[in-house]
Structures are given as structure tokens and as C-alpha cells.
Amino acid sequence: PGKPSFGQRWKEHFGITPQTQGKNPIWIHAVSVGESIAAVPIIKQLKRRNPNQAIIVTTTTSTGAEQIEKLGDLVEHRYMPIDFSWCIRGFLKTVQPKQMLIMET
């Protein structure tokens, strides 16, 4: 969906997100920079084990998004929808993740 600019991708915060390139991705949520950096070795290991596995990473901040964008085509990035059930449902309906991992540092 383009550069990690928070304002230009505002729809993602409301659960209106582009379809992922791969089906049933592993969803990793990394709030900000620290969690995003901590997620990198996990992402690389997941891709080593299964190169065809789609991975989507959500962040809440643009600085976290910038870290994830450095991974290039290994993953797709989206902004985490805000904490309203209808926003989360929209995201889940579109993305249809098979697993979720929440990073905490």
C-alpha cells in the first residue's frame, strides 16, 4: 500500500485495508519501533522455514512502519485498526490471518 505515512493511509486505521498478496497470512502485531525491531529475527526465521508463507505486520506508529518497510518483500505492512470492533472485523474479514503473534518489548 505504499510508504508508511500515517496520514495518507488513514483508512487502514478504520479496518479498510487492501487485500494481502498471499492467502491466510501469519499476522504479527508490533506496536512501534522496539517491537518492530524485535520482530525481524522471527520474521526471517519464519520465511526461512516456509518461504511461501505470507506474513502481514501491523504497527501503530509510522516509526514502527519504517522499520518493517526495510524488510521489503518479505512481509506486507498495514497500520493496526483502531480498537473498535467494527474496525477490527473489517480488517479480519479482508486479511483472514491463520495465526497471530503479538510482540511486546
Round to whole Å and give the CA distance between 75 and 26: 10
Residue 35 annotated to the active site: yes
Tally of CA atoms within 13 A in the half-sphere of 80 that contains its CB: 21
Cβ-based neighbour number of residue 48 at 10 Å: 8
Asked if 4 contacts 63 with a C-beta cutoff of 8 angstroms, the reply is no
Catalytic site residue from 35, 69, 76, 104 = 35
Which residues are designated catalytic?
35
